[in-house]
């Protein structure tokens, strides 16, 4: 837990005792297995405290980028090369997308993919598009085939980065990006928190071994789960 910046403090353990005692007034801190029960609860408190600290910090970082683009999806590199040649010769992107794109959704819209936050497309697509920059046409290969991508605009949701969009669209993009960033941060924090709890259970197992004695009032030690469990009764 320490390597993630989390420490179980005396305050966590004191709060753990208070929480457990409130839930079960008969709880005796010195009873068999009580130390493990307290340690588990303290670890949970520390993990949730860490989550409350880390999620806002993650969301408050650099504003996420948006990509406004359109593409033509074809099956092979030679086909992508032919599309590029026809575009360079002056043919219309939207008409080529309608005629050639294997993506039925965007193809029927002239290849239009709208403006979406980073992470909406597969990595090869986004790497090529963000690397190319606004106004460029680039080819990227993914598991779907070969994408001929026209980058209309890219970057955080500002008028400078996306001059073709009105203020309402930019505000909506920024709000969507904030919600997406929050969702990602919460998901990552949840995964980290679960791992932290697994870590502390493993530490308990390593210290006390498989034959841990737990007062029946508090549940039983499950060596397979490395934690105290309470059997559900009818």
Tens of pLDDT, residue by residue over 209-227, are 555 555 566 566 665 555 5
**DSSP code, position 8:** -
| Contact status, residue 153 vs residue 134, Cβ threshold 8 Å | yes
Segments of the chain with pLDDT less than 70: 1-6, 32-33, 51, 54-62, 184-185, 189, 192-193, 196-197, 200-234
Domains, the chain, ordered by start: 2-60+184-229 (no CATH), 66-155 (3.10.50.40)
So what's the pLDDT on residue 234? 47
The alpha helices in the chain, defined as continuous H runs, are: 10-23, 34-59, 77-88, 93-100, 104-107, 123-132, 167-208
- Cα distance between residue 159 and residue 165, in whole Å: 7
| Contact status, residue 111 vs residue 70, Cβ threshold 8 Å | yes
209 CB burial (10 A radius; 0-12, 13-18, 19+): exposed
So what's the pLDDT on residue 7? 74
Sheet holding 137-142, edge to edge: 112-117, 66-74, 145-155, 137-142
**DSSP code, position 159:** T
- Cα distance between residue 11 and residue 184, in whole Å: 30
């Amino acid at each position: 837990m320490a390597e993630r910046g989390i420490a179980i403090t005396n305050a966590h353990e004191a709060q753990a005792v208070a929480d457990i005692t409130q839930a079960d007034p008969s709880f005796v801190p010195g009873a068999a297995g009580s130390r493990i029960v307290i340690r588990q609860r303290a670890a949970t408190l520390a993990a949730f405290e860490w989550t409350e600290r880390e999620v806002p910090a993650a969301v408050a970082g650099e504003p996420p980028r948006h990509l406004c683009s359109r593409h033509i999806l074809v099956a092979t590199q030679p086909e992508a090369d032919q599309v590029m040649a026809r575009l360079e010769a002056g043919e219309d992107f939207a008409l080529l997308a309608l005629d050639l794109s294997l993506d039925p959704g965007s193809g029927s819209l002239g290849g239009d993919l709208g403006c979406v936050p980073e992470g909406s497309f597969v990595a090869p697509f986004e790497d090529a598009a963000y690397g190319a920059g606004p106004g460029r046409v680039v080819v990227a290969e993914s598991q779907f085939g070969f994408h001929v991508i026209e980058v209309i605009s890219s970057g955080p949701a500002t008028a400078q980065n996306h001059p073709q969009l009105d203020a309402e669209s930019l505000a909506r993009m920024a709000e969507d990006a904030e919600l997406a960033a929050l969702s990602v941060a919460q998901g990552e924090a949840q995964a980290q928190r679960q791992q932290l709890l697994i870590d502390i259970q493993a530490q308990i197992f390593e210290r006390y071994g498989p034959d841990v004695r737990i007062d029946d009032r508090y549940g039983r030690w499950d060596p397979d789960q490395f934690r105290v469990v309470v059997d559900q009764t009818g």
